[in-house]
A and B are shown apart, each in its own frame.
Chain A
């Protein structure tokens, strides 16, 4: 499934910590061995998934964000355009921490599909939930983090 191979790097941790507005000095240490990662840092393993669908691909011509038009998605006539992709939202995220993540580790991820279910909602119509469980292991095969993600596809945009 996923071919993630993520080198854990301190400059990446620094950029991630900046983006969540976290000034904890442990995320900005000079020496590799002193740096620790924020609890949600592993989410940025998406950077190392060659097929990650929420990143424009070099040379790819079907990125669904706007350019000249509101969506770059070529309409296929079947009706499910870029909007379909956009209706996917993140519903839940859970992490279980088994071992610390260290700078210099090389993390691989194994994704397993989980349950799926449906629910009616007043604010967004029919909701289709699906779960996936990712096991992140280090170069020695040790389990570092187990992540459970729940995505939801809404029938219409969520009313606010």
Chain B
């Protein structure tokens, strides 16, 4: 858990959340989450029917990997809110880095909360996720 006297607005935390994303990891996510959309595992369908260059990651895989960075930063069981927008697709071979920035620290109903801005970028610097989170602070 973040400590009130150890954080300030503007603090950031970054983590590499995946290096050279493998197709197999996308399949693993499909199996675990139950989302078997062929866009994520079926190259033939994705190219010939959907019109994309090939399979790509579930948005929720990117959100899940970004969540790993987030919980490593704020601690387990402290999240009150976590939300994202998917701004670009994530492809096999991508390497992603995710950053959390504290944008506000406030008191609400007797709790101290940190408001956090989130951004995940790929190896070309393109943003694939923007988001926000609220976490309890000790």
Most buried by A among B50, B79, B85: B50
Is B13 part of the contact surface with A, judged by Cβ < 8 Å? Answer: no
Q: Is B59 in contact with A20, judged by CB distance below 8 angstroms?
A: no
Is B76 part of the contact surface with A, judged by Cβ < 8 Å? Answer: yes
Is A114 part of the contact surface with B, judged by Cβ < 8 Å? Answer: no
Give min CB distance, A125 to chain B, whole Å: 12
Name the B residues within 8 Å of A56 (CB-CB). Answer: 36
Bound: A39/B42 CA distance, A? 27
Bound: A92/B32 CA distance, A? 20
A interface bracket (residues with beta carbon within 8 Å of B): 35 or more
Chain B residues close to A by CB (< 8 Å): 17-18, 25, 28-29, 31-39, 41-42, 44-53, 58-61, 63-65, 67-68, 70-72, 76-77, 79-86, 88-89
Q: List 16 A-B contacts (CB under 8 A).
A: A19-B29, A20-B64, A20-B65, A22-B68, A40-B60, A43-B33, A44-B34, A47-B34, A52-B34, A54-B35, A70-B45, A70-B47, A71-B49, A94-B84, A95-B79, A148-B83
A39-B70, A96-B81, A158-B52 given; 19 more Cβ-contact pairs under 8 Å: A21-B25, A21-B65, A22-B71, A36-B77, A39-B82, A40-B60, A44-B33, A65-B42, A71-B49, A86-B45, A87-B50, A92-B84, A93-B60, A93-B63, A93-B84, A94-B84, A97-B81, A100-B77, A157-B50
